A and B are shown apart, each in its own frame.
Chain A
Amino acid sequence: GAGVSQSPSNKVTEKGKDVELRCDPISGHTALYWYRQSLGQGLEFLIYFQGNSAPDKSGLPSDRFSAERTGGSVSTLTIQRTQQEDSAVYLCASSLDFIGYTFGSGTRLTVV
C-alpha cells in the first residue's frame, strides 16, 4: 500500500482480556518496528523485525507482550491479560533502508 496501515484505530478492552493489534507495512519494506506512546509521553521502542532474522525484542515491557511477522509482511502485536498501564497509542513503522522510517497512524488502546 501507499503507507503503513494499522488496525484497529481505536480499541477499548476490559482489564484481563487479550488484544491483537495489526500492522500492514509498506510493500517491500523489510524492516518493521513497534513503538508505544503513553499519554503525553515520548515514544518507547518495543520490537524490531528485519527480514527473516530473529526479532529484536529488547523493548518489550513484559512477557505479556509478543509480536510476530508473517511472511515478512503483516505484523501482529499481542498483549495478553491487559492491564490499565497498557493503555497507550501503539505505533508501527516500516523501513526499506534503515534511514527512512514511515509511521502508521497508530492504534489507541484503552484498558478499562
Chain B
Amino acid sequence: AQKVTQAQTEISVVEKEDVTLDCVYETRDTTYYLFWYKQPPSGELVFLIRRNSFDEQNEISGRYSWNFQKSTSSFNFTITASQVVDSAVYFCALSNNAGNMLTFGGGTRLMVKP
C-alpha cells in the first residue's frame, strides 16, 4: 500500500520568508514517481514537479527547489523569498510504476502575508 503524509496542515509566513513544505511517503515499489501540485483558490491542480525514484538529484526552478532523500523517504519542497501569489494548498503525491493510482497527501495550506 502507498501512503503520503504531509504533517503540516497549515503554514503562515510573511512575504519574502523562505518556507519548506514536508512530504514523507511509504511504498513497497522500487520504481515510483513523486509529484508536487499547487491548488490555488481557483481550485485547479497545477503540476509543479515530477521525480522518479532513481533520480535523487535535487532540483531548482526559480524560487522553487525540491529535496528528494530516499534514505528518509522524503520529498520536501522549499519556496525561497515567498510571495503572496504563492498562497495555495500544496499537495505531494506518489505514483507506482503501473500508473494506476496517484496517492495524495492531505495537503499543506500555505498563507503568505504581505
Contacts and interface: CB of A to CB of B under 8 A. Distances in A.
Contacts of A43: 91, 93, 104
Interface residues of B, number: 24
A104 B46 CA distance: 10
Contact of B44 (A31, A33, A95, A103): A103
B110 to A, nearest CB: 15
Interface string B91-114: 101010111111111110000000
A42 B106 contact: yes
A99 B98 contact: no
Contact of B35 (A41, A45, A101): A101
Interface in B51-66: 52
29 contacts: A31-B99, A42-B91, A42-B104, A42-B105, A42-B106, A43-B91, A43-B104, A45-B103, A56-B100, A56-B101, A59-B101, A89-B43, A93-B102, A98-B95, A98-B97, A98-B98, A98-B99, A99-B50, A99-B99, A100-B50, A101-B35, A101-B47, A101-B95, A103-B37, A103-B45, A103-B47, A104-B44, A105-B42, A106-B44
Interface of A: 31, 33, 35, 41-43, 45, 48, 50, 56, 59, 89, 91, 93, 95, 97-106, 108
